[in-house]
C-alpha cells in the first residue's frame, strides 16, 4: 500500500507532511510558494485524506510509510518539511533514514513525549458525529461547534468531510484508529541523532515548543536552528503563510536570499 500524493513545480524534491486530522491540501499555500523553487510533493499520511487506513500509528510505522512512498517515486533523498504530527514523522524519517533527508524543517513540534491530551473535545465531537447519519455539512458543523470552543478548529476538521456515494457525509480520516493510537501520536521515540541541517519554526503563541524542550532538540538535532514567527500560534503556516514560506526559503536557499 502506498500513500496518496501529488506534486507540483520543478527542482530539488521537497516533501510536505501535514499534521493530525489534516490532509495533503493543508499545506497547499506553502506548496504553491515553495514550488517556485522546488519540486514539491504533498502526501496524505496513513489514516488521513485518501491514503490507506491502519491501526499502526506509531512513528516507526508512519516513517516507514513515507520512505516506501519515496522509493515508489524514485526519490533517493529529499528535503522534508512537516507540521505538528507531520513534523514528528519528518523527524523520525530523518533519524531512521538520514541518508534520505537532505534538509529538515519542523514546524511547531518538538521531539518529545507530550503527556497532555490536547484533543479530548475533538474526539468527543467526532465520536458524536459517528452516532448519527450526517445528512449535511451544516449538521456536522453544528455538532462540532457544540463540543469545540474554537470555530477555527471545527472549520479545519470539516475540510476532511466528504459526501459519499450514498448521499450522506463521512470523514476521510479514520477516527477510531487515531483515537486508539493517540498515545503513540502524542508520544515520541528517539531513534538516534540526525546530524543534517535542521530548522525548527515555532509559532510565538504556541505551547508545542517550549524552553524545556531545548535540551532534547539539541541532543537529537545538533545542527539545528530555530526561528519564531511573531503573532502566530500552532497554525503558523495558515496565519502567516508568506512569512513562514520566506523563513523556510531563507533556510533552504541562503545564498539566494
User: Among 48, 83, 234, 237, which one carries the catalytic annotation?
Assistant: 234
CA end-to-end distance (rounded Å), the chain? 40
CA dihedral 60, 65, 67, 73 (to 10 degrees): 180
Which set of grid coordinates corresponds to residue 131?
Answer: 452516532
Distance of CA 88 to the CA centre of its chain: 8
Active-site entry in 84, 154, 206, 224 = 84
Strand partners, 219: none
Catalytic residue check, 61: no
Question: Is 129 exposed, middle or buried, given 0-12, 13-18 or 19+ CB atoms closer than 10 A?
Answer: buried
Rounded-to-integer distance, Cα 22 and Cα 185, Å: 14
The answer to whether 160 is a known catalytic residue is no
Catalytic center residues: 84, 234
Amino acid at each position: 500500500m502506498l500513500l496518496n500524493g501529488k506534486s507540483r513545480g520543478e527542482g530539488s524534491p521537497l516533501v510536505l507532511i501535514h499534521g493530525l486530522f489534516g490532509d495533503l491540501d493543508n499545506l497547499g499555500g506553502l506548496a504553491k510558494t515553495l514550488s517556485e523553487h522546488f519540486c514539491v510533493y504533498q502526501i496524505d499520511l496513513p489514516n488521513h485524506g485518501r491514503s490507506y487506513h491502519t491501526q499502526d500509528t506509531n512513528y516507526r510505522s508512519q516513517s516507514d510509510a513515507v520512505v516506501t512512498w519515496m522509493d515508489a517515486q524514485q526519490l533517493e533523498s529529499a528535503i522534508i518539511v512537516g507540521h505538528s504530527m507531520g513534523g514528528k514523522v519528518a523527524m523520525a524519517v530523518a533519524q531512521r533514514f538520514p541518508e534520505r533527508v537532505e534538509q529538515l524543517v519542523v514546524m511547531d513540534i518538538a521531539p518529545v513525549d507530550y503527556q497532555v491530551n490536547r484533543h479530548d473535545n475533538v474526539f468527543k465531537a467526532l465520536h458524536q458525529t459517528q452516532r448519527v447519519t450526517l445528512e449535511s455539512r451544516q449538521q456536522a458543523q453544528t455538532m462540532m461547534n457544540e463540543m469545540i470552543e474554537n470555530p477555527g478548529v471545527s472549520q479545519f476538521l470539516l475540510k476532511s468531510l466528504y459526501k459519499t456515494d450514498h448521499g450522506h457525509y463521512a470523514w476521510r480520516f479514520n477516527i477510531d484508529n487515531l483515537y486508539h493510537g493517540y498515545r503513540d501520536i502524542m508520544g515520541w521515540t528517539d531513534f538516534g541523532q540526525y546530524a543534517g541541517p535542521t530548522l525548527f519554526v515555532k509559532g510565538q503563541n504556541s505551547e508545542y515548543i517550549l524552553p524545556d524542550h531545548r535540551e532534547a532538540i539539541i541532543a537529537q538535532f545538533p545542527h539545528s536552528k530555530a526561528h519564531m514567527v511573531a503573532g502566530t500560534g500552532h497554525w503558523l503556516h495558515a496565519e502567516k503563510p508568506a512569512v513562514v514560506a520566506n523563513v523556510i526559503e531563507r533556510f533552504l536557499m541562503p545564498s539566494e536570499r
